[in-house]
Structure 1
Amino acid sequence: MTATSTETVIAARTTDVWKVFGSGEAEVIALRGVSVKLERARFTAIMGPSGSGKSTLMHCLAGLDTVTRGEVHIGDTRVTGLGDAGLTRLRRHQVGFIFQQFNLLPTLTAEENIALPLAIAGRKPDPQWWDTVIDTVGLRDRLGHRPSQLSGGQQQRVACARALVSRPQVIFADEPTGNLDSRAGAEVLGFLRDSVRDFGQTIVMVTHDPNAASYADRVIFLADGQIVDELREPTADTVLDTIKRISGDH
């Protein structure tokens, strides 16, 4: 089926996803029948109190964790039930990751870190796209530096460029500004928002920060492993109000 301009294309979705850790007395239900559709070329934030299941949901969506019940799709790929080879292909070609800890290799330069996913997949960067990504993150004069020679904000921008350079269907960002000061955090968030608006990138971000969530197009709120609310075109204030209400309810 070809998508027309009026159709919403779904980049990733879960259908009645349950995730249970442990068994018997030690059983913990992290996700309870979560069904959600994440739109392509949109910036979606996932929020909720500690233990609400937000990181678990992202890990299941990204194929980093298996589901107990239900189904996960990224684009047309059914992630549920993929073997190791299929999951490896998925991570190499369809998803990108940005983590709180940057996860850069200390012995590689910024340029080598950015190119790493392509090198592992045996692919060469598209020169035009490479230049676009490097200029967008503003790192051209830092490409020869190792992570230890870069500030935290610059390291996270390297991680953002690394996630973008392979043009994945979805980029998953787990508290990407958690280790940054507010100015560096705003730079990274602005870059993520621009990559959605200018390049049609799809981003799914877990955050606890209402200000970070205000950069998104849509915020999904979890509590006790279930989706309990959502906001479109959020502001930091509307996000904060929703969190307070959810925390009061639970």
Structure 2
Amino acid sequence: MSLAAVPRSAFPARAAEAVAACATDLSKVYGQGETRVVALDSVSVEFARARFTAIMGPSGSGKSTLMHCMAGLDSVTGGSARIGDVELAQLNDKQLTRLRRDRVGFVFQAFNLLPTLTALENITLPMDIAGRRLDRERLGRVVETVGLASRLGHRPAQLSGGQQQRVAVARALAARPEIIFADEPTGNLDSRSGAEVLGFLRQSVRAMNQTVVMVTHDPVAAGYADRVVFLADGRIVDELYEPTADAVLDRMRRFEAAGRTS
């Protein structure tokens, strides 16, 4: 069966679950005329609160574009992107900046730490900039969750790559965001460090009711999620609950085979 034959219907979160963010008929088009590229083609999807969702697909499938639109990092061409009850397209630049600061956490492939600050100072920086009071109980739980208690006084250059990414995860968690978007968070890490970071994200969902949406190309990373959403050619083509790395890899191979025969 070719990918074109897969229905383009929405894949909603399970019935009893609250929704942290959702897209409805979301489209993103770059360029015009001969250079026109449809990155997202009428995507409808919900991301459940206090769940870990992975977004997967081949290169050019639209997975990073979907995350960027859902996080308010890129504008949409059509349709709707919402975080909670807020329609992102209705916000101006200042309002978007405030929403990203106050309600969204980010973890990227690059650690994005300030080299002159300690690990603790990097973790609390977003709250310092926003002038928000530090919740020390929350901070203690986050530091314990990511295993950084003995490294808080170290600067990034004194930390391994895995430790730096743990600082980035702690920074995202400490501000108590409604949702964390993670874009290939283990892309610069070895397998052991990557597993540690994914374990911390998994633990934040279980122990702290955090909502995490992660873009990844790695079936092993996707196996840490509660649910995997698969994209191809800017459309959602499948989803998988309670995934294993083997099940994700098998699903990806089927998509690749279908793409070659379509």
State yes or no: 1:90 paired with 2:99. Answer: yes
Unaligned 5+ segments in structure 2 are 1-14
Deviations along 1:35-93, one digit per CA (max 9) or x if unpaired, are: 00000000000000000000000000000000000011001111123101110111111
Equivalent of 1:46, from 27, 45, 55?
A: 55
1:71 aligns with 2:85: no
Match 1:143 to one of 152, 168, 181: 152
Name the counterpart of 2:204: 195
- The yes-or-no answer on 1:80 pairing with 2:105 is no
Following TM superposition, the consecutive aligned residue runs of length 4 or more in structure 1 with deviations greater than 4 angstroms are none
Does 1:111 pair with 2:120?
A: yes
Distance, in Å, in 2 between the alignment partners of 1:155 and 1:203 is 19
How far does residue 248 in structure 1 lie from its aligned partner after superposition? 1.4
Distance 1:223 1:203 in 2: 21
Q: Distance in 2 between matches of 1:111 and 1:194?
A: 20
C-alpha displacement of 1:100: 0.3
Q: Match of 2:256?
A: 247
Q: Any stretches of 5+ residues in structure 1 without a counterpart?
A: 1-5
1:177-233 deviation line (CA, Å, top 9, x unaligned): 001111111100000001001110000000000000000000000000000010000
What is the percent sequence identity of the aligned residues? 68
Alignment pair present for 1:182 and 2:181: no
CA distance in 2, matches of 1:140, 1:237: 34
Quote the Cα distance in structure 1 between the aligned partners of 2:130 and 2:88.
19
**Residue-pair matches, total:** 245
Letter in 1 for 2:117: L
TM-score by length of 2: 0.92
Secondary structure of the residue aligned to 1:44 is strand
Q: CA RMSD in A?
A: 0.8
Q: Match for residue 225 of structure 1?
A: 234
Tell me, what secondary structure is at the counterpart of 1:216? coil
